[in-house]
Amino acid sequence: MGSVLSISLSCDAIVSRCWDSVFEREPYVRKLQENLQDLSTSLQELKSLKDDVQRKVVLAERQPLLKRLEQVNNWILSVEALETEINEVIVSHSTQEIEKLCCGGYCSKNYRSSYKYGKKVARKLVEVEALKCKGDFEEVAAESLPTALVDVIPSEPTVGMEPIFDQVWRHVEDEQVGMIGLYGMGGVGKTTLLTQIHNNFNRTRNDVNLVIWIVVSKGHKIEVIQDKIGEKIGLSSGVWKLKEQREKAEDIFSTLNTRKFVLLMDDLWEPVELTKVGVPVPDSRNKFKIVFTTRSEEVCGHMDAQKKIKVGCLTWDKAWNLFQEKVGKETLLLHPDIPKLAEIVANECGGLPLALITVGRVMACKKTPQEWKRAVQVLRRFAFEFSGMGDKVFPLLKFSYDNLPSQKVRSCFLYCALFPEDFVILKDDLVYFWMCEDILDEYGNVEEAKNESYHIIGTLLTSCLLEDEGDSVKIHDVIRDMALWLACDLGKEGENILVDTGAYHAPNVAKWKNAKRVSLMGSGIKSLDETPRSPNLLTLFLRGSHLEMIVDDYFDFMPMLRVLDLSENILITELPSGVSNLVSLQHLNLSKTGIKRLPMEITACACLKYLNLEQMFKLDFVPTNLLSSFPLLKVLRILDCGSSSRIFFDNEKTMIDELQGLKHLDVLTLTVRSTSCFQNLDSHHILLTCTLTLCLRGDYSENPSSCLDLSPVAMANMKYLNTLQIEGMRDVHSSWKTPLENPSSFLGLQFVEVGACKNLENLEWLVFAANLIDLHVYGCYGMTTILGSNTKKAYTLTPFAKLTVLRLSRLPYLWRICEHHLPLPFLKKILISGCPALTRLPLNSSSAQTSNLIIEGEEKWWNRLGWEDQAARNAFLPCFRPCKGKNFPGTLMPQYSQKAFNNIF
């Protein structure tokens, strides 16, 4: 029927085992205080030993070709890691654990807790002693094999410049010559020549062991140059950058003075005080070398250049060869008259490489003799009208300007001159500037304006008047100078602009009378206390300055002002009440300012179409129902706006009501701090037509049972969600029960960042983000996969088909991205950090274009990766770039955090 199991235990055995357990644990409690003291003493000895070893390493590495031993480096890292762990043990818990002891330290009020803590202390003491024993190194560095002295910088070939290159290189090798200056007009090829000199150090090393390349722009600052040099010589830590100028100079000098270095400085507009930077002055004894480029022979004199070399224009045969290369044989052979006309056009370029390249590329699409004859006429008509950069530079650059298809495109080009030198201009920023000014005001829809703007930007890029930087553009300083000259000369046509980006004192406002656009971006001006009378002013840029105060009546006489950019002025705390006079204002950017209160007078700006209040961490007051004052708003940016989550909206209903009232809204950036708020937002039609950047930031005070649902059904209304950041949400899930063949959710989603969501297991809903281009996931300690097994249900979709960047960091349990290999034709970067369990990537030998792909991660992680076959591993091996563990910046992370912002004040 059944069976019975009988167990009999001896009472003596049980008592014996209990006594053994107590006896074993007793020393950990009794010796706790003693062990803590020993641990503190031993740790201090270990730290001293580490400091001694590090000093030996620093001294050794100053010697050419010496590099620290790997075992020494690993030992230092182990010590630092153990320091952190022990400090947490001692500082965080020691006091409270000692207070638990009783009976003279032989017992504890919480015996189990004291035993566990005492055992941990004892183990750490053993670890410290073990590391102390291992820290006795006979040698800390060894000679390393020679590597490439410099990373090769891509550049145009030095067409026709071989003789001058040989001349410069002879002086570089001459021990009696320390300072060499290359001067000449803009666009003549000085930078190309300096690049070739830089790259040549890999082929002819001599005994040089350090080559530094920096760009020194107009209006340079000593601190900026120091930081650039510091990055090249290993002095780029955050602590170092906070040092005083004098301290930085001492550090740079002590490092460079022990090396035989070559410093290459490009684009000097004025002399650099080397002693203030910390660069040792070259002489015949130290054998240091400095080579720089400038447009001014006078700068060569001020820099005490021992050799001044003029970089002239190309000879005719070299210029003609370069011009033919840019135009192309196909165009030159379209008509028998074109080659002779092309020779005339090339001759008008005067041998200037920049002009030959620019004009040649423009003429590459001119297929009739009439177009070529017109080109000759235009070039000759403007040949000697310009000054400053040389009699022939601006006319040749102006040819590209005149060849633009319309006055609207020319106005957009001149607008780019408002930005400082070397400034990277976001293409989308240009869209909103042009839309809110009078350039693109005929386009009522943001999408139409954006399409037209990108068409204009493309035209300017193909005309070589702008340089492409991905989602941004830059304007070359020579071309910018030409644009500024043009804008001043064309003032009678309504294009008059005033730019003073290097000013330290407020400009004379009398000059503003006829100005249409004014830019003081990046200036050192602290106060604007004089009221300008600018009846024609349309755009005013005050971005990124050091402003602390603007007088209240500053805006009283700017009735036509449409664009006002005050962003990145973190020292300004008040907006002048005179803003009420800006009745024509359409574009207002106050992002990243220190403004604490928005005045009631701002509601008078009823024509606003663009309002940016992002990352105004100090803002603690806004007028009630502020948004209802701006019924024409097309762009509203309030991501991370306010010193608390309740500053901008009193409650969720207020937020929804105000957003619902913005009937013309096309773009919205918003931070939401609760799942209920997100759900309410999702249920309203504002998201059906609005391009949305949404940050969901966890509020741990809300109901723990609340859950964020990211399934396609729940997110059905967010068709125009462009950017999504999820941070610190308590519980997130996404699931579906049936296959969705034509999902409409997430089709607009391009950028996703998910971080610190501890209960999130996967992001399987991303299978429906067909247009995703950038994904960053970090600090989700419960995540095991990116695309879960449930994604099989979405069988009609190819995940990540347009993905270009994938960042994964601090995901300790992530073991796969998806089940199968994926075709990733547009992938450019994979950045992996702190993902030890991830042993496979969704790649096979045909997944991606390996020629343009970079895979960055820890070397140990890379070596553990498994591959489908050897062919796959061989295909991606050249893509790998080793790095030590770090956190990769996200798509939405602010330039400075709330904490960093508060520290400024």
- Whether residue 487 is predicted with pLDDT greater than 80 in this model: the reply is no
- Whether residue 898 is predicted with pLDDT greater than 70 in this model: the reply is no
Is 120 in the same domain as 180?
no
pLDDT number for residue 185: 66
pLDDT number for residue 562: 95
pLDDT number for residue 369: 92
Name the pLDDT band for 773 (thresholds 50, 70, 90).
very high
Task: Please give the residue that has the higher pLDDT: either 634 or 205.
Answer: 634
- Whether residue 829 is predicted with pLDDT greater than 90 in this model: the reply is yes
Taking each helix axis from N to C terminus, what angle separates 32-61 and 70-99, rounded to the nearest 10 degrees? 150
Measured CA to CA, the distance from residue 1 to residue 805 in angstroms comes to 68
- Whether residue 6 is predicted with pLDDT greater than 50 in this model: the reply is no
For residue 99, being part of any structural domain is answered with yes
Name the pLDDT band for 587 (thresholds 50, 70, 90).
very high
Is 123 in the same domain as 177?
no
Is 83 in the same domain as 225?
no
The closest alpha carbon to 215, from 279, 276, 281, 293, belongs to 293
pLDDT number for residue 425: 93
> DSSP code of 418?
G
Taking each helix axis from N to C terminus, what angle separates 446-462 and 427-436, rounded to the nearest 10 degrees? 120
How large is the average pLDDT for residues 778-789? Answer: 87
- Whether residue 793 is predicted with pLDDT greater than 60 in this model: the reply is no
Measured CA to CA, the distance from residue 623 to residue 345 in angstroms comes to 62
CATH number, domain at 191? 3.40.50.300
For residue 442, being part of any structural domain is answered with yes
Name the pLDDT band for 568 (thresholds 50, 70, 90).
very high
Give whole-number Cα distances, 263 to 161, 188, 251, in Å: 22, 21, 16
- Whether residue 904 is predicted with pLDDT greater than 60 in this model: the reply is no
- Whether residue 256 is predicted with pLDDT greater than 70 in this model: the reply is yes
Domain end among 115, 143, 171: 143
Tell me the percentage of the chain whose pLDDT exceeds 90: 21
Name the pLDDT band for 741 (thresholds 50, 70, 90).
very low
Least confident of 55-69, 378-392, 788-802: 378-392
Is 219 in the same domain as 99?
no
- Mean confidence (pLDDT) of the chain: 79
Is 243 in the same domain as 370?
no
Is 480 in the same domain as 348?
yes
Distance between alpha carbon 332 and the CA centroid of its chain, in Å?
Answer: 43
pLDDT number for residue 682: 61
Name the pLDDT band for 65 (thresholds 50, 70, 90).
low
For residue 569, being part of any structural domain is answered with no
Number of domains in the chain: 3
- Whether residue 165 is predicted with pLDDT greater than 50 in this model: the reply is yes
- Whether residue 453 is predicted with pLDDT greater than 80 in this model: the reply is yes
Least confident of 204-208, 283-287, 364-368: 204-208
CATH number, domain at 367? 1.10.10.10
Is 93 in the same domain as 16?
yes
Q: Which residue has the tokens 């967010």?
A: 718
Q: What phi and psi, each to the nearest 5 degrees, are found at residue 297? A: -65, -30
Measured CA to CA, the distance from residue 517 to residue 886 in angstroms comes to 43
654 half-sphere exposure, CB direction, 13 A CA radius: 10
For residue 886, being part of any structural domain is answered with no
Asked if residues 203 and 368 have their Cβ atoms less than 8 Å apart, the reply is: no
Is 282 in the same domain as 215?
yes
Domain end among 116, 143, 170: 143
Is 130 in the same domain as 257?
no
Structural element, H or E, at residue 484? helix 477-489
- Whether residue 229 is predicted with pLDDT greater than 80 in this model: the reply is yes
Name the pLDDT band for 257 (thresholds 50, 70, 90).
confident
Measured CA to CA, the distance from residue 736 to residue 725 in angstroms comes to 22
pLDDT number for residue 892: 46
- Whether residue 300 is predicted with pLDDT greater than 80 in this model: the reply is yes
The closest alpha carbon to 869, from 846, 849, 890, 885, belongs to 846
Name the pLDDT band for 84 (thresholds 50, 70, 90).
confident
pTM metric for this prediction: 0.60
640 — alpha (psi -120 to 50), left (phi > 0) or beta?
left
For residue 351, being part of any structural domain is answered with yes
- Whether residue 143 is predicted with pLDDT greater than 70 in this model: the reply is no
pLDDT number for residue 94: 63
pLDDT number for residue 495: 63
pLDDT in tens, 395-422: 656 766 887 888 899 999 999 989 987 7
For residue 21, being part of any structural domain is answered with yes
- Whether residue 145 is predicted with pLDDT greater than 70 in this model: the reply is no
For residue 824, being part of any structural domain is answered with no
State the burial class of residue 212 (Cβ atoms within 10 Å of its Cβ: 0-12, 13-18, 19+).
buried
CB atoms within 10 A of CB 578: 19
Name the pLDDT band for 611 (thresholds 50, 70, 90).
very high
Tell me the percentage of the chain whose pLDDT exceeds 70: 76
pLDDT in tens, 12-54: 444 444 444 444 556 766 677 777 778 888 888 888 888 888 8
Instruction: Give the domain extent around 110.
Output: 11-143
880 half-sphere exposure, CB direction, 13 A CA radius: 19
Measured CA to CA, the distance from residue 542 to residue 536 in angstroms comes to 17
Name the pLDDT band for 339 (thresholds 50, 70, 90).
very high
For residue 796, being part of any structural domain is answered with no
Is 174 in the same domain as 81?
no
Is 299 in the same domain as 345?
no
Give whole-number Cα distances, 617 to 112, 476, 556, 600, 622, in Å: 46, 35, 28, 19, 13
Is 288 in the same domain as 188?
yes
pLDDT number for residue 382: 45
Determine the residue type at 42: S
Measured CA to CA, the distance from residue 707 to residue 432 in angstroms comes to 37
Domain end among 452, 471, 492: 492
